[in-house]
Structure 1
Amino acid sequence: MKYYLCKYIPPRTDFLATMTVDEKDWMAQHGAYLDWLLGTGKIIAHGPVMDPAGGYGVSLYQIADDEEIETLTSSDPIVQNGAGHYEHHPMLHLKHRG
C-alpha cells in the first residue's frame, strides 16, 4: 500500500466565499467524488481546512502499490474544470481506527 496526504489548493484564497455558480456545482461534484473514494477505502478521511490565510482541502489516501495518486486527484471534477490543483505528500504509513 501507498499513503498520501493530499492538499487541494483552490484557485484563489477567498474561493469558498466567492465561488461562482459553476464553481459551486463543481464543488458539489468534488464532494461526491471524494465521498465515493471514501466508500471504496482509497480515502481514509477528507475535509476542508479553514485557514485564515486561505482555506484548502485535505485528504488522506491509502492506495494500492500499482495505483497512481495523480490519476485519482486529476479525475476530481473540480480539477478537471480548472478550479485548483492538488499537492501530493507521500507518507511512510498511515495508522487509523478501523
Structure 2
Amino acid sequence: MKYYLCKFIPPRADFLATLSADEQSWMKQHGHYLNELLGQGLVVAHGPVMDPAGSYGVSLFQLADDQDIHALTSADPIVQNGIGHYEHHPMLHLTTRL
C-alpha cells in the first residue's frame, strides 16, 4: 500500500470567499468526486482547511501499489477545469480508527 497527504492549492488566497458560479459548480463536482473515492476506499478523509493565510483542501489517500496518485488527482473536476493544483506528499504509513 501507498499513502499520501494531498494538498489542493486553489488559484487565489480568497478562493472560497470569491467563488464564481462556474467555480461553485466545479467545487460541488470536486466534493462528489472525492466522496466517490472515499466510497471506494481510496480516500480515507478529505476536507477544507480554513487557514487565515488562505484556505486549501486536504485529502488522505490509501492506494494499492499499482495505483497512481497523479492520475487520481488529475481526474478531479477542479483540476480538469484549471482551478488550482495538488501537491502530493508521500507518507510512511497511515493509521486510522476502525
> TM-score, length-normalised on structure 1?
0.99
CA RMSD of aligned residues (A): 0.4
Within 2, Cα distance between the matches of 1:11 and 1:32? 20
Cα distance in 1 for residues equivalent to 2:13 and 2:26 = 17
2:43 match: 43
Give the 4+ runs in structure 1 shifted more than 6 A.
none
Task: Give 1:16-95 correspondences, 5 Å limit.
Answer: 16-95=16-95
Identity %: 72
Deviation at 1:69, TM superposition (A): 0.2
Cα distance in 2 for residues equivalent to 1:17 and 1:96 = 32
Letter in 2 for 1:50: M
The secondary structure found in structure 1 opposite 2:97 is coil
Which secondary structure state, in structure 2, belongs to the residue aligned with residue 51 of structure 1?
coil
User: Unpaired runs of 5+ in structure 2?
Assistant: none
Q: Structure 1 stretches of 5 or more lacking a match?
A: none
Aligned-partner SS, 2:24: helix
